[in-house]
Amino acid sequence: MKSYIPLPAPLDTDLLPAAPPGAAPLQPELLSASAEDALRALRLEAASENTTSSYQSALRYWAAWYWLRYGQPIALPLPANVVLQFVTDHGEHLTAQGAQSGLPAEMDAQLVQQGFKGKLGTLAHSTLVHRIAVLSKAHSHQALPNPCHSTEVREAMSHLRKAYARRGKLEQKKAALTRPLLEQLLATCDDSLKGQRDRALLLFAWASGGRRRSEVADARMEWLQTMGPGQYLYDLRLSKTNQSGSARPENFKPVVGVAGAALAQWLDAAGISEGALFRRIFKNGKVGDAALSALSVNNIVKERCALAGVEGDFSAHSLRSGFVTEAGRQNMALADTMAMTGHQSAATVLGYFRAEAPLANKAARLLDDPQTD
């Protein structure tokens, strides 16, 4: 038997309070302007600072490009042909003269001059994909017909990716900072406040499971539990895979050993007992109150790579990929590794585990083995 919830008995409207003067009744089929504002504010608050910034930057670029291309302000919804024009303007196609894009040189120069583009030329494939995705989300948020879902746009993006793959132009993953490389970076950290902060930051990010740069920037004392001298449990309340802040056992990440000792040393030297774990240090040696930004975390990694003479395409994400790669090298259990990193997909982690597996394949060394009769 199906259960059901009975409707309430009709209300005696005579007993209900009268609506305040000037408050017109709402129409059930329409959302009020104040509710729309509130929902928009909630959406912005729920999004990470990096996500909000990247979306705003992408939409500003769309508006500037549209103005130059069509001579009028952008207005949604856009027809699919506009999106196709954007793809051909910013993606390369082969011609008799070589690879070219459709954006006129003078427009490209204007976009760079006005600060909407970083440099002349085509966009990186990942940037182009991101800008299409942002436009798609802008249409979805307003419940408008979405040109990015059209067959023509989907096919164009598929063809672009395949063409770039054939030319070897797809972006490669950031290089991994495995343990030997990480130790080179740590060797550049002296006993100054900056050196102690950077050492603690690098070890906290790497050893606690390869934290994302936003997670390092957002780390706070209130979420750090002291379990003993130089031993901590960090409650990772918000992450890419737990954006709702749900309480889960796997939220707790150990910060122990050399990482715990470095964190204890930094907190003591900086006099931090509440607020952000990692902060700006001013030229006068004073430790600020505000947290480092995610960009600053990325810059610290790059700066330490330069000081250590570690060459390659490294970023803050290299700490995360380095942790997973090192776990694979040392034959750590997949479940234990995923508990630290917070990855939801075993396939993603196995991709790092297997990154150097071909070099260990015995079948690749058949000619090296001595022949025996």
Report pLDDT digits (tens) over 37-62: 787 777 766 665 667 778 889 999 99
CB-based contact 198:300 (threshold 8 Å):
yes
pLDDT of residue 46: 63
Per residue in 133-178, pLDDT tens?
A: 999 999 998 889 999 999 999 999 999 999 999 888 877 677 889 9
Per residue in 81-102, pLDDT tens?
A: 999 999 999 998 888 888 888 9
Per residue in 330-353, pLDDT tens?
A: 888 888 889 899 888 888 888 776
**Per-domain residue ranges of the chain:** 44-167, 179-357
Q: What are φ and ψ of residue 143, in 5° steps?
A: 55, 45
**Top-confidence residue, 357 or 63:** 63
pLDDT of residue 241: 62
Asked whether residue 357 carries a pLDDT value surpassing 60, the answer given is no
Asked whether residue 15 carries a pLDDT value surpassing 90, the answer given is no
pLDDT of residue 66: 95
Which amino acid is it at 134?
A: V
- CA dihedral of 12, 17, 21, 27, whole degrees rounded to 10: -50
pTM of the model: 0.64
Options 1.10.260.40, 3.30.565.10, 1.10.150.130, 3.30.70.80; CATH of 44-167: 1.10.150.130
pLDDT of residue 348: 82
- What is d(CA 92, CA 167) in angstroms, rounded to the nearest whole number? 11
Per residue in 107-119, pLDDT tens?
A: 999 999 999 999 9
Average pLDDT, whole number, for the chain?
Answer: 86
In whole angstroms, how far apart are CA 122 and each of 87, 100, 134, 137, 314? 10, 9, 18, 23, 23
Question: 118-122, 124-128, 196-200, 355-359 — which is least confidently predicted?
Answer: 355-359
Which class is 179-357 in CATH?
Answer: mainly alpha
Asked whether residue 324 carries a pLDDT value surpassing 80, the answer given is yes
Estimate to the nearest angstrom the gap between the alpha carbon of 184 and the chain centroid.
Answer: 26
Give the residue carrying structure tokens 């994400």: 317
- What is d(CA 97, CA 205) in angstroms, rounded to the nearest whole number? 47
Mean pLDDT along residues 60-77: 94
Mean pLDDT along residues 20-33: 74
Q: Is the dihedral of CA 264, 266, 270, 273 positive or negative?
A: negative
pLDDT of residue 151: 96
- Going by pLDDT thresholds of 50, 70 and 90, the confidence category of residue 20 is low
Asked whether residue 16 carries a pLDDT value surpassing 80, the answer given is no
- What is d(CA 315, CA 151) in angstroms, rounded to the nearest whole number? 36
Per residue in 218-272, pLDDT tens?
A: 999 999 999 999 999 999 876 666 555 566 767 899 999 999 999 999 999 999 9
Asked whether residue 2 carries a pLDDT value surpassing 60, the answer given is no
Q: What percent of the chain has pLDDT over 70?
A: 84
pLDDT of residue 345: 83
